Amino acid sequence: MRTVVPVSGSDPKTRLSPVLGPDERRAFTEAMLADVLDALDGAGHSPDVVSTGPVECDAPVTVDDRGLDALVNDLLAEGPLAVVMADLPLLTADAVERLFAPAADVVLAPGLGGGTNAFVCRHPEFRVDYHGASIRDHRRIADDVGASLAEVDSRVLATDIDEPADLAEVLLHGDGRAADWLTDAGFELSFDDGRVGVARE
Amino acid sequence: MRTVVPVSGSDPKTRLSPVLGPDERRAFTEAMLADVLDALDGAGHSPDVVSTGPVECDAPVTVDDRGLDALVNDLLAEGPLAVVMADLPLLTADAVERLFAPAADVVLAPGLGGGTNAFVCRHPEFRVDYHGASIRDHRRIADDVGASLAEVDSRVLATDIDEPADLAEVLLHGDGRAADWLTDAGFELSFDDGRVGVARE
């Protein structure tokens, strides 16, 4: 099955701006992408990367600056498709295998906060709408087109990294390139009022 | 295996005070507990509840007002033990089965933010320390005592409900008593700046 990893290659991860400069955000984005590609490779998949701008990675890259919905829906019209977001640095080969395992027409991996961090689609009429709480829209769209639906219950598929607070999850659990990048950049876990966060040296 | 669900029965879920009054926090705590007990029951387990004060639920309750570490470590000294926290209203029987499935001495279910939301222990020397980022301490303690370790990758086991922002996950995914309770109390999803939250009528 065709497997695509969309990534923002232009001005990535702007919500990390409070703690990372533009060049750092790009380097960290590439580190997270490398972790995602490693996990997919470990599960036997050979993904293509589709980026809004040039990006360094160990996979074929197509530059396409359309919005995510238009891009993914064009690919869905061409046949079975898996899409895995690029900001899932905790992803493991096991979790990828669990994403592809259900025999359902559509398999969704919910993100924290209502996003859809990955899906597998084997139904000709399913389409995506990534705005708002997309997991609810995707459940509805699958139902509307009569597609059987499964959801994969995975913390590592649910943990997309968008904001400074999310970096704690990478330091708590990651052993890949994104975690190494953060450590090399001087980030470490901090504890304030019983809650975990990150601090930079 | 003995399975215990610890719950705060005195002044539960104080971090939800900005949106719920004391009686509401108690009622919501009991709704979440009911969801956890349903999931455990659905997976064939018969848990005991240990509460710091009286609590209404469909399981045997022991009142014990010691801290969590002392309580759980005494139980660990008595033999194999599973502990599942009471604030996991998204929990499913499938996730419970995945928690009990690994043949490891110690199986940990990480919570978001570094907590340990559930564990299964079959090793006589493993002990808990719930302070700080307990998942890291529990990995270390398992290693120190020579216990084999597994971790279960589950979003629903990772999603403990502590703060107002966490309530969105219940409304996005829950179909149990906690989700019903929130809906009946007038909570609904809200969208602000592309991020999901909750609002109350």
Query: B87 to chain A nearest CA, in Å?
Result: 17
Work out the minimum CA distance from A7 to partner chain B, whole angstroms. 18
Q: Enter the ipTM.
A: 0.96
As a whole-number percent, the residues of chain A with pLDDT over 90 amount to 93
pLDDT of B92 over the 80 cut: yes
Residue B113 CA to residue B173 CA, distance in Å, equals 20
> pLDDT digit string (tens) for A44-83?
999 999 999 999 999 999 999 999 999 999 999 999 999 9
Terminal CA-CA length for chain B: 44
Pick among A117, A136, A153 to test the B interface (most B CBs inside 10 A): A153
B168 and chain A in contact, CB less than 8 A: yes
Cα–Cα distance, A89 to A124 (Å, whole number): 30
Q: Give residues with Cβ within 8 angstroms of A132, minimum separation 6.
A: A114, B191, B194, B196
A154 touches chain B (CB under 8 A): yes
Given this model, what pLDDT does residue B194 score?
A: 67
Identify which of A143, A87, A142, A77 has the alpha carbon closest to the alpha carbon of residue A112.
Answer: A87
Q: Domain B2-162, what architecture?
A: Alpha-Beta Complex (3.90)
Q: Whats the size of chain B, residue-wise?
A: 201
Cβ neighbours of B135 in A, within 8 Å? 172-173
Q: What's the pLDDT at B63?
A: 96
pLDDT tens-digit series, residues B126-169: 999 998 899 999 999 999 999 999 999 999 999 999 999 999 99
What length does chain A have? 201
Chain A: give the shortest CA distance to residue B56, in Å: 28
A194 — pLDDT class (breaks 50, 70, 90):
low
Q: Do A172 and B133 touch (CB under 8 A)?
A: yes
* DSSP-derived 3-state class of residue B151: strand
Res. B196 pLDDT band, cuts 50 70 90: confident
Region A2-160: CATH code: 3.90.550.10
Residues of B in contact with A154 (CB under 8 A): 153-155
Residue for token pair 């046949």 = A79
Reference B68, options B124, B17, B134; nearest CA is B134
Distance CA B43, CA B175 (A): 17
Checking if the pLDDT of B89 tops 80, the result is yes
